[in-house]
């Protein structure tokens, strides 16, 4: 297939590009390079790879980029509470308005549309019940709010000829060509290995997790099936304290500072049954992810893992 990936140089996008090229597809990565393009190094000499430097708010450039594409995988967004609050108008324009415009364009040209959303939309689970795709959404951030509004607008224009796929990703973790250490599990591992100290707010709070490698696998699988609608994409629900316990086994000298006075408002567990029915079984586990990140840190792969290069804000 001929595939366009917006946000193709990002933490998830750089993995998805590699996976789909490996499967024999022609892949075009579209990215503003807000955080650089190192995630795409190694792909430039591959004949089936193409890159477009652009902003998804540029309607004319996006229109040209989408022409003759069988599939558009829309990953580009301003991500994370801090980045979104620092750039509220840009978040609105990128995460909602540009997404709405892109979805309408893809519908008009008859291509398949895959939209990256987030399990953060659930916000909080009452009585710790599992949240499925039909659960009430309770956004606690501008990021989640824009994602929910984008989902709603995309679903409004769905019909028999336009069957969008909306993927609500769990909290991602794991090594990626465009590495991030501002993601919960990745950050905990970095601090445990480099500082031998981890600060935890709300240790009893639940989060769903998914390895970035498994995200790429699920996207690839969906392109070969007639899947549409909303899917929660993840592997494990863990409390923050569960991650700390794993880190203690890895770093016996670890000092843990738990701050229960300042609780994390997000606390939710997610049901991934619908994705399992599509035959998706995650191959990576948090233990594997923790061990691989720790090994890379100890080997000195990252000269300064605390650098702003490895975070989105």
**Residue spans of alpha helices (H) in the chain:** 13-22, 59-66, 81-86, 88-91, 98-109, 142-156, 184-194, 212-223, 240-250, 273-277, 286-298
Q: Which residues of 251-285 are buried (b: 16+ CB within 10 A; e: fewer)?
A: beebeeeeeeeeebebbbbbbbebbeeeebebebe
Cα–Cα distance list, 168 to 218, 231, 236, 309 (Å):
12, 6, 14, 26
**pLDDT recorded at residue 128:** 74
| pTM for the structure as a whole | 0.95
Indicate the pLDDT class of residue 273, thresholds 50, 70 and 90. very high
User: What is the arithmetic mean of pLDDT over 260-268?
Assistant: 74
The answer to whether residues 274 and 280 touch, using CB atoms and an 8 Å cutoff, is no
Cα–Cα distance list, 294 to 58, 160, 213 (Å):
40, 47, 17
User: What is the arithmetic mean of pLDDT over 120-135?
Assistant: 88
| Distance between CA atoms of residues 66 and 68, nearest Å | 6
The answer to whether residues 99 and 62 touch, using CB atoms and an 8 Å cutoff, is no
**pLDDT recorded at residue 261:** 64
Tally of CA atoms within 13 A in the half-sphere of 24 that contains its CB = 1
CATH of the domain spanning 174-207+236-268+284-310, picked from 3.40.630.30, 2.60.120.10, 3.90.25.10, 3.40.50.300: 3.90.25.10
**Looking at the DSSP assignment, which residues form a beta bridge with residue 200?**
258
User: What is the arithmetic mean of pLDDT over 225-254?
Assistant: 93
**pLDDT recorded at residue 85:** 87
| Distance between CA atoms of residues 298 and 46, nearest Å | 31
Question: If you count DSSP H runs as helices and E runs as strands, how many of each does the chain have, helices first?
Answer: 11, 14
Residue closest to 167 by CA, chosen among 88, 91, 220, 97: 220
Residue closest to 311 by CA, chosen among 53, 88, 35, 33: 35
**pLDDT recorded at residue 225:** 81
User: What is the arithmetic mean of pLDDT over 55-84?
Assistant: 94
Q: Is the pLDDT of residue 84 over 90?
A: no
Angle at the Cα of 221 from the Cα atoms of 217 and 226, rounded to 5 degrees? 155
Q: Is the pLDDT of residue 264 over 70?
A: no
Angle at the Cα of 275 from the Cα atoms of 163 and 153, rounded to 5 degrees? 35
Least confident of 52-61, 76-85, 143-152, 274-283: 76-85
Residue 29 token pair: 């990565």
User: What is the arithmetic mean of pLDDT over 94-103?
Assistant: 97
- Which superfamily is assigned to 2-172+209-233 in CATH? NAD(P)-binding Rossmann-like Domain (3.40.50.720)
Q: Is the pLDDT of residue 15 over 90?
A: yes
What average pLDDT does the chain have? 94
User: What is the arithmetic mean of pLDDT over 176-182?
Assistant: 97
Least confident of 70-79, 96-105, 216-225, 238-247: 216-225
**pLDDT recorded at residue 127:** 67
**Residue spans of alpha helices (H) in 129-183:** 142-156
Least confident of 74-78, 225-229, 255-259, 302-306: 225-229
Residue 175 token pair: 């090594």
**Where are the domains positioned within the chain?**
2-172+209-233, 174-207+236-268+284-310
The answer to whether residues 32 and 8 touch, using CB atoms and an 8 Å cutoff, is no
Q: Is the pLDDT of residue 279 over 90?
A: no
**pLDDT recorded at residue 12:** 98
**pLDDT recorded at residue 172:** 97
Q: What percent of the chain has pLDDT over 70?
A: 98
**pLDDT recorded at residue 262:** 60
User: What is the arithmetic mean of pLDDT over 82-107?
Assistant: 94
**pLDDT recorded at residue 13:** 98
| Distance between CA atoms of residues 210 and 33, nearest Å | 24
**pLDDT recorded at residue 278:** 87
**pLDDT recorded at residue 80:** 78
């Amino acid at each position: 297939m001929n595939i366009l990936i917006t946000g193709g140089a990002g933490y998830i996008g750089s993995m998805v590009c590699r996976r789909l090229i490996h499967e024999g597809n022609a892949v075009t990565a579209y990215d503003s390079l807000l955080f650089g393009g190192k995630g795409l190094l190694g792909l430039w000499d591959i004949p089936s790879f193409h890159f477009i430097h652009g902003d998804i708010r540029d309607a004319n450039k996006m229109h040209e980029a989408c022409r003759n594409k069988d599939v558009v995988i829309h990953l580009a967004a301003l991500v994370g509470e801090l980045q979104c609050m620092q750039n509220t108008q840009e978040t609105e324009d990128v995460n909602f308005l540009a997404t709405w415009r892109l979805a309408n364009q893809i519908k008009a040209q008859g291509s398949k549309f895959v939209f990256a959303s987030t399990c953060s939309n659930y916000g909080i689970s009452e009585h710790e019940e599992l949240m499925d795709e039909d659960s009430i959404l309770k956004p606690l951030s501008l990021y989640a709010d824009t994602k929910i509004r984008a989902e709603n607008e995309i679903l409004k224009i769905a019909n028999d000829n336009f069957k969008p796929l909306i993927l609500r990703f769990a909290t991602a973790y794991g090594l990626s060509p465009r590495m991030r250490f501002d993601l919960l599990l990745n950050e905990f591992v970095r601090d445990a290995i480099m500082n031998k100290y981890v600060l935890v707010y709300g240790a009893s709070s639940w989060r769903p997790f998914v390895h970035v490698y498994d995200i790429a696998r699920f996207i690839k699988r969906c392109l070969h099936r007639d899947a549409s609608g909303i899917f929660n994409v993840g592997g494990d629900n863990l409390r923050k304290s569960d991650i700390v316990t794993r880190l203690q086994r890895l770093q016996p000298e670890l000092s843990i500072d738990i701050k229960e006075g300042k609780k994390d408002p997000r606390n939710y567990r997610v049901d991934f049954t619908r994705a399992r029915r599509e035959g998706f079984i995650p191959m990576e586990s948090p233990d594997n992810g923790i061990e691989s990140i720790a090994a890379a840190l100890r080997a000195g792969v990252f000269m300064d893992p605390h650098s702003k290069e490895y975070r989105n804000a």
